Amino acid sequence: METALQSNQLTTLANENQRGLINSSAFTFSKEKRLPVLKTKMETKGLSIYYNKTLAVEDFSLSVPANQITAIIGPSGCGKSTLLRSLNRMTDLIPRTHVEGSVLLDGENLYAPNIDVVELRRRIGMVFQRPNPFPMSIYDNVAYGPRIYGVRNRVALDDIVETCLKQAALWDEVKHKLNQSGMAISGGQQQRLCIARALAVEPEVILMDEPAASLDPIATLKIEELMQNLKSSYTIIIVTHNMQQAARVSNFTAFMMLNDHKAGSLVEFGETAGLFTNPKHKQTQEYVTGRFG
């Protein structure tokens, strides 16, 4: 009974979300089939990721559409965070990690030898599960990245701070206390501050690893609304173990789980409404109806 209810709710959420997608302006149609034609922003090709000799993600190939929200779902331990971290080479920071295959941003392989990893992480920002504001003022948290990139002019910095805090739907709550510590605000506000900080260096893609996992339902809703507002300007990839969240916020969903080699691999990828209402694979069906995971 509970499973059926959950499944129905997910279907409704995904369908409502899909109607939002069809109304989206970032969306054009091919003449013949009236199917969406979306530009690919990122792509993984035959991506395998090892921790030491242990294969964590195997042969993962996925095209991520521009200006859409793509959710990566799957049971705990199936490699979602590992996959996400490889997309902006955060995996480089973990000792003895080894990546095979390629990750493309606008067709350019991010694992090519000549890549400037600092610049790549500017273009592909990341928001983590636990809000991690720097131990400095709200203002300085947002101005931190632009300052590193050489912005010194106070008026320009003021402008960036205000714009990014507005984009992160935080300005009205903090405009009177910009000099207060970024750590002295609520968890939900801290997470929106981290999003503002990520936006301040003008990324093209934002990776979000369970961005609402540590937040209460109201703060979660704010982050989800914010994501909807951001997607016209950014490509968003979110890892979540919360299927309701994936169904509510994402336009596309990738379902992954452990394969026979005990490595995470892609089972199914498609428009969120289709994947939740009419999955092609039995494993997807079982997962989205709560039969495992």
88: burial class by Cβ within 10 Å (0-12, 13-18, 19+)? buried
Long-range contacts of 146-151 (CB under 8 A, 24+ apart): 146/200, 146/201, 149/122, 149/201
Count residues binding ligand ADP (CB under 6 A): 11
21-60 residues in contact with ligand ADP (CB under 6 A) are 51, 56
Least distance to ligand ADP, CB of residue 288, Å? 16
55-94 residues in contact with ligand ADP (CB under 6 A) are 56, 74, 76-82, 94
CB-nearer residue toward ligand ADP: 56 or 64: 56
What is the C-alpha to C-alpha distance for residues 274 and 22, in angstroms, rounded to an integer? 13
The closest alpha carbon to 102, from 53, 63, 54, 66, belongs to: 63
Least distance to ligand ADP, CB of residue 66, Å? 24
CB-nearer residue toward ligand ADP: 57 or 138: 57
Least distance to ligand ADP, CB of residue 30, Å? 34
Least distance to ligand ADP, CB of residue 87, Å? 12
| 225 contacts 169 by C-beta, under 8 angstroms | yes
- In single-letter form, the type of residue at position 159 comes to D
- In single-letter form, the type of residue at position 25 comes to S
CB-nearer residue toward ligand ADP: 141 or 250: 250
CB-nearer residue toward ligand ADP: 64 or 138: 64
CB-nearer residue toward ligand ADP: 193 or 254: 254
Least distance to ligand ADP, CB of residue 263, Å? 8
CB-nearer residue toward ligand ADP: 81 or 191: 81
164: burial class by Cβ within 10 Å (0-12, 13-18, 19+)? buried
CB-nearer residue toward ligand ADP: 79 or 146: 79
90-119 residues in contact with ligand ADP (CB under 6 A) are 94
Least distance to ligand ADP, CB of residue 180, Å? 33
What is the C-alpha to C-alpha distance for residues 256 and 268, in angstroms, rounded to an integer? 7
The closest alpha carbon to 225, from 185, 170, 269, belongs to: 170
What is the C-alpha to C-alpha distance for residues 45 and 241, in angstroms, rounded to an integer? 24
What is the C-alpha to C-alpha distance for residues 212 and 221, in angstroms, rounded to an integer? 9
Q: Count Cβ neighbours within 10 Å for each residue of 221-243 and write b for 16 or more, e otherwise.
A: ebbbebbbebbeebbbbbbbbbb
Q: Are strands 97-105 and 108-109 parallel, antiparallel or unpaired?
A: antiparallel
The answer to whether residue 253 forms part of the interface with ligand ADP (CB under 6 A) is no
Least distance to ligand ADP, CB of residue 292, Å? 14
Applying CB under 6 A, the residues found at the interface with ligand ADP are: 51, 56, 74, 76-82, 94
